[in-house]
Amino acid sequence: MYKTILKQVVSLQLILGGVILIPGIVAVIYNEWYALIGFLISSMIVSGIAYLIFRNLKNTEDPQYQQSLLIAALGWLMIIIMGSIPYFIIAQITPLEVMQSFVPKGMDYQSSLLNFRNPLHCLFESTSAFTTTGLTMSYHEPSIGKSLMFYRCFSQWVGGAGFIVMALAIFKHIPGQSAILLYGSEASGTKLKTNVIQTAQSIWKIYLFLTLTMVAYLFIGTYFILPDYPIAENIFDAINHAMAGQSTGGFSTLDDSIAGYKSEKMEILFLLPMLIGGLSIPFLYRFTVLQNFKELWCDIQSRAFIIASILGGIFLSLLLMTSDGVSDPIREGAFQFISGLSTTGWQTSNIGQWSDLPVLFIVSGAMIIGGCAGGTVGGVKIIRALLLQKGLRWHINKIFASKNTVKKVKFNNRYLLPEEMNAQLAKAGIFTLIYILFVFFSTCITVYFMGEDYSLVDAIFESASAQGTVGLSTGISDPSMSPILETVYIIQMWAGRIEIIPILVLVRVLMYGTKIRNI
């Protein structure tokens, strides 16, 4: 069993080695030679170790269900660990004067590249990148260099569609049932084609197409809104923001996220990438490739996501009108709510200055729920929230029905028998309970280790942001935070990306092995 798991985990590291190598092209374009050396060394370390192990694991069994969950947990853990190597190496070998040359002219702050001389900060940044969260130790993003900025956004883009999905698309030899199990451990389980391998390839094709479309959209939009903005910077921003938006990762090339543009029209421009990123990839495939346009309203998740974005943005704006320190409640409320619901994490408002009520609303009404299952979003997912409210109504209606009544329940264009509905509700309810418990315990730890300037509401917000892979922040997540709290957020981001259960399975195996125990 362990050889089977190790082989699949190592195959993901082979892909990671190639991912690390690609930002080296950007390093060459911008003459960042120390960064180039760092990417080359990192790629050789990751690929070399993976290859040496992989070549000795040719004859292994096919993964089973239990193993597929362990592969998801361990695979992603090793990706974020090994993916942190470039940050550390580049920070170690880059001279201070070169670091400071990355700081924009007129700014007197220290390069944030120095933060990555701390291995824990490297691990945090890598976790935030690959899990598409967006919390960062790069306090001043432009000061880390173009190639490392690209690596951050590229990591989010690759992590958004999923490494296991990528592995299935590349390593086509994986047998049918094993491929289905691996695919289901990371993705929604929805098949776009007749088999999982073709589905994985289709996911990456539509993902790439949408990203390239967003690159063109952002470049053209920025060109007309900010005609004086340098063309070279526009191209670089458009590429990175398109990757961060499509993956709902939320990293930015600007020092103050999207607020750095200082333009209301630019904020409106960035609403579309967040909305598209919050939708499910199977829906986007049917809508764009199959041109099934009625899906926009017929698909239960997409419809709920669009309605929630509009109504939630309006309600948050109304709440912000009574909050001190908010200069433009409608503008800030609409943008932050969509950013939270889509779990993108682009930020245009100082959330730390909000009053408690709007903060709690965006946590409960957006960040914990998240976007559509089958996409790159975090959170509980809209489909589970819809199922739970449907189940609540169903259970209340049963009180008024006779004992002999057997009524099917229609949900998501399917009719479910009572036994099936109960099973679905149990799964959704258990996951939601575990999810909220993660946020609760993280909040308790945050309250203990956060600075004195923050409140309980700030702690709830930051914990929900890490667990939901959102990336919005009240300011708690920064290089000065407690190492213990930083580690807790790393675990939360990891758990949030693979939906907790694989990690619980991993913990169970580490504690008790694979033998069946009495409960």
pLDDT > 90? residue 246:
yes
Residue 471 included in any domain: yes
Domain boundary among 186, 210, 236: 186
Overall domain count for the chain: 2
> Closest Cα to residue 408, out of 400, 417, 420?
417
Residue 319 resides in a domain:
no
| pLDDT 10s digits, 106-121 | 888 999 999 999 999 9
Alpha-carbon distance 342 to 349, whole Å? 17
- Beta strands (DSSP E) in 317-464 are 409-411, 414-416
Over residues 124-141, mean pLDDT: 94
Inside any domain, residue 369? no
Angle formed at CA 339 by CA 256 and CA 337, multiple of 5 degrees: 115
End-to-end CA distance of the chain: 24
What DSSP letter does each residue of 391-429 carry, written as one string?
A: HHHHHHHHHTS-TT----EEETTEEE-HHHHHHHHHHHH
Q: Are 274 and 245 in contact (CB under 8 A)?
A: yes
Cα–Cα dist 438/507, whole Å: 15
Whether the per-residue pLDDT at 159 is higher than 80: the answer is: yes
Burial 484-499 (b: 16+ CB within 10 A, else e): ebbebbbbbbbbbbbb
Q: What is the pLDDT of residue 170?
A: 62
- Among 186, 220, 243, give the residue marking a domain's end: 186
73 assigned to some structural domain: yes
Asked whether residue 432 is assigned to any structural domain, the reply reads: yes
**Residue 354 and residue 361 in contact, taking contact as beta carbons nearer than 8 Å:** no
In a domain, 467, yes or no: yes
Range of the domain at 486: 382-512
Tens of pLDDT, residues 387-428:
999 999 888 888 777 766 667 788 887 888 888 888 999 999
Q: Does 323 score more than 90 pLDDT?
A: no
Q: What is the percent of the chain where pLDDT is above 70?
A: 91
In-domain check, residue 249:
no
Q: What is the pTM of this model?
A: 0.93
Is position 349 within any domain?
no
CB 100 within 8 A of CB 110: yes
pLDDT at 247: 94
Q: Give the domain-ending residue among 186, 221, 252.
A: 186
Indicate if the pLDDT at residue 294 is higher than 70: yes
Q: Output the DSSP codes for 207-274.
A: HHHHHHHHHHHHHHHHHHH-TTS-HHHHHHHHHHHHHHHHTT----SSEEEEGGG--HHHHHHTHHHH
The Cα 108–Cα 97 span in angstroms is: 13
